[in-house]
């Protein structure tokens, strides 16, 4: 899989006035599905003020027929976590305090990340957010049945980790608590989607 890296005006912006420093940044990973081109992965690293330090995105990814057959119901976790997520994290020069994703399948990238990986929940997309209090398990439908996630809150942000990853929950709370009142953990994903849209246009233009 080849990366697109930084494209167009995004590339120029990322080169100006930014001095990346490890240890005081957060990563945001998402995957966008395009019916025409396939899957695009995007990884944005922000400093604690919400300013970009790095941005990487992948070229479109389409699973082969052999992968669809062999991976079966685990294909999405493989594509989001190992194939796309691992590649993007390896491209980064920075090591964030926490990696955030809005895709449940991308939690599979945890095995390739030295930092805790958390799912950022959009309450607008939850059927009954009030029925899932902090510290309680929430359930999402997966290819192998129902997966359980441990829901928790840091400031105004609603987060979750796999129920077996309670240490990630503790670390994420500890590392995010000083910043979350000023950092909306959902907002950066919209930036990534817009950046991927620009990258898609570059792919279409230059083939």
Residue pLDDT, tens place only, 44-65: 999 988 999 999 999 999 999 9
- 184 inside domain: yes
Q: Is residue 169 part of a domain?
A: no
Residue 128 lies in a domain: no
Instruction: Decide if 185 is inside a domain.
Output: yes
Residue 156 lies in a domain: no
Hey, what's the torsion of the CAs at 63, 65, 66, 67, to 10 degrees? 30
**63-72: pLDDT as tens digits:** 999 999 999 9
Higher-confidence residue of 24 and 157: namely 157
Range of the domain at 38: 8-119+178-199
d(CA 104, CA 120): 9
Residue 147 lies inside a defined structural domain of this protein: no
Task: Find the CATH number of the domain harbouring 45.
Answer: 3.30.420
The reported pLDDT for the residue numbered 9 is: 45
- Identify any residues that bridge with 153 across adjacent strands, giving them in sequence order: 158
Please check whether residue 125 lies inside any domain of the structure.
no
Is residue 108 pLDDT above 60, yes or no?
yes
Q: Tell me the pTM.
A: 0.82
Q: What is the 3-state secondary structure (H, E, C) of 22-40?
A: CCCEEEEEEEEEECCCEEE
The CA distance from 9 to 23, in Å, is 27
pLDDT, residue 2, reads: 41
In a domain, 163, yes or no: no
Q: Residue 14 pLDDT > 60, yes or no?
A: no
Q: Phi, psi (5° rounding) for residue 104?
A: -55, -40
**Angle between the 187-206 and 8-15 helix axes, to the nearest 10 degrees?**
130
pLDDT attached to residue 137:
59
The yes-or-no verdict on residue 21 having pLDDT over 70 is no
Q: What are the tens digits of pLDDT across the range 124-155? A: 655 444 444 555 556 555 554 456 899 999 98
Tokens standing for 145? 């049945």
Q: What is the domain count for the chain?
A: 1
CB-based contact 181:155 (threshold 8 Å): yes
């Amino acid at each position: 899989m080849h990366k697109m890296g930084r494209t167009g005006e995004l590339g120029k912006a990322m080169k100006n006035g930014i001095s990346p420093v490890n240890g005081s940044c957060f990563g945001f990973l998402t995957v966008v599905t395009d019916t025409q081109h396939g899957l695009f992965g995007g990884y944005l690293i922000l400093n604690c003020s919400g300013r970009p330090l790095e941005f990487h995105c992948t070229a479109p990814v389409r699973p082969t027929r052999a992968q669809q057959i062999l991976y079966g119901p685990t294909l999405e976790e493989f594509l989001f976590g190992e194939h796309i997520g691992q590649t993007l994290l390896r491209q980064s020069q920075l090591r964030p305090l926490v990696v955030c994703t809005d895709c449940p399948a991308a939690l599979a990238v945890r095995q390739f990340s030295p930092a805790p990986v958390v799912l950022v929940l959009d309450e607008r997309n939850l059927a009954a957010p009030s029925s899932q209090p902090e510290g309680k398990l929430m359930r999402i439908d997966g290819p192998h049945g129902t997966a359980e996630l441990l829901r928790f809150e840091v400031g105004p942000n609603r987060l979750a980790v796999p129920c077996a990853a309670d240490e990630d929950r503790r670390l994420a709370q500890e590392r995010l608590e000083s910043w979350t009142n000023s950092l909306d953990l959902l907002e950066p994903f919209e930036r990534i989607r817009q950046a991927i849209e620009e990258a898609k246009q570059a792919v279409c233009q230059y083939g």
